[in-house]
Every structure is written in structure tokens, then in C-alpha cells.
Amino acid sequence: MDDEPCVLVVEDDAALAAMLADLLGGEGYEVVVAGDGQRALHEGLSRHFDVIVMDRGLPAIEGLDVLERLRRKGVATPALILSALSNPADRVEGLNRGAEDYLGKPFDIDELLARVRSLLRRHSDTSALVRVPGGSLDVGTRMVTLDGLGMVVLSERESEFLEHLARRPQQVFTREGLLESVFADADDSGVVDTYVHYLRKKLGRACVLTVRGRGYVLGPLA
């Protein structure tokens, strides 16, 4: 059916790729398999996907490099990294480089399917616009439109972070509160500061203001 969610599976282990394709296909998803990073990049740039499930240790181009190149081209499809590299530092690196979720190998099948469903739900709301200083954020496409300055594409985690700040524009958020509400799957509180850096790099240094000794508050984007 044309309205079936479409999942791009990027995995160089042929047996595991076939298993994932069967598993996801059995859940009603259309599945496209890419066996190396170059093919994954081509597929990701050539057609629309609802979710990407991607290994890291790929031939041709490493998985996170593929994801970063897709993000630079404006592809905002939510991505689940599925990798044997699964210690806390590996997970933080994956999230920092554009992934929305990260699951270590070996994995539980029910957990994998639950995480894919979660990404699909989060990606399905394409209508909500949130006002931000100097423009708006479309939480479905993760596109920030700034008055007189054009459009900027955010990763899903960047968009969630900005939306969280924008929903309460006068509130000062502590690192601990942000870690719990936006970055609950991260093991390192430094991820908050990392994403502040990412937003400032894309939207200007004043977009998130530091309130010394307290935390962060939304600032002007333009």
C-alpha cells in the first residue's frame, strides 16, 4: 500500500539485513536494504523514508558519516543507530552526530520494534508550528524559518530541544531538567551543553542564553 511507512535498513551483514527486512516487513513496513554506506547515501538522497535503521561499521562510508551527509543535505528522516559500538561514549557520539535513537547489538526484537514505532509517531506530526523569536519552528519537518534570513534544517533532537525551550520562552531550564525531559536516553549531562552548541552554531550564539548558575533560556534567533 502507498501509505505504508518506509524504512531504510543499512546493514552490511547480509543475514542480519535479511532478518531485519523480514521483521520490519512483517510489521507492515516497506523496507529498502542498503549494504554499504555509499548505497545508503544514494537511497537516502533519492527517495523519502519514514525511518532509517543504520549500522555504524559499514563499507565505503561509516554509518555516522552517512548520517551527517544526509543531514547536511536537509534530510531530516529520524534515524536509529543499531551498532555493536554501544558503550555510553559511542551512544553520545551517535546522538550528537544526528541520530535520534541508539540501540546496541545484540538487541531485543521487541525493543527494536518499539523504538521504530516511537520514531514513526514522533515523525508523524507535520502540522504544528511553534513561534520562536524572529520566526517559527515546524516540528514535523524540523525546519526553522527566520524572518528575512531563510530556513534552517535541524536534527530531530535539536528540534525537540528548541521546541522545549520555545514552549516556555521565559523559563530558565536547568541542565538536570533538560537532561530528564529532552535527553532522557543520554548517560552524560554534557549532551545538554553539546546541543546548546549545535543550536548556536546553526541559529546564532544568542538563540540559547546562559543564565549563570541556573541554566538556559530561549533567546532571539534573528
What residue spans define the domains of the chain?
A: 6-124, 129-218
pLDDT of residue 131: 83
pLDDT digits (tens, 9 = 90+) for 153-180: 899 899 999 999 988 888 899 998 898 8
Specify the DSSP element, H or E, that contains 46. helix 37-46
Q: What is the mean pLDDT of residues 130-149?
A: 81
Whether residue 76 contacts residue 156, with contact meaning beta carbons closer than 8 Å, is answered with yes
Dihedral through CA 84, CA 89, CA 95, CA 101, nearest 10?
40
Whether residue 126 contacts residue 140, with contact meaning beta carbons closer than 8 Å, is answered with yes
> CATH assignment of 129-218, given 1.20.120.1200, 1.10.10.10, 2.60.40.420, 3.30.110.30?
1.10.10.10
DSSP-based three-state secondary structure for 108: coil
Sign of CA dihedral 192, 197, 202, 207: positive
pLDDT of residue 148: 63
Q: Residue 97, exposed/middle/buried by CB under 10 A (0-12, 13-18, 19+)? A: middle
What is the rounded CA–CA span in Å between residue 120 and residue 165?
23
pLDDT digits (tens, 9 = 90+) for 58-93: 999 999 999 999 888 777 788 999 999 989 899 989
DSSP for residue 219:
-
pLDDT digits (tens, 9 = 90+) for 14-47: 999 999 999 999 999 999 999 999 999 999 988 8
> CATH assignment of 6-124, given 3.40.50.300, 1.10.645.10, 3.40.50.2300, 3.40.109.10?
3.40.50.2300
Whether pLDDT at 4 is above 90 = no
Which grid cell is 19? 532478518
pLDDT digits (tens, 9 = 90+) for 81-133: 999 998 989 998 998 888 889 999 999 999 999 999 988 886 665 446 788 88
Whether pLDDT at 149 is above 90 = no
Give yes or no on whether 6-124 and 129-218 have one common fold: no
pLDDT digits (tens, 9 = 90+) for 192-210: 999 999 999 999 999 999 9
DSSP-based three-state secondary structure for 67: helix
pLDDT of residue 118: 87
Whether pLDDT at 1 is above 50 = no
Kindly report the pTM of this predicted structure. 0.59
pLDDT of residue 127: 45
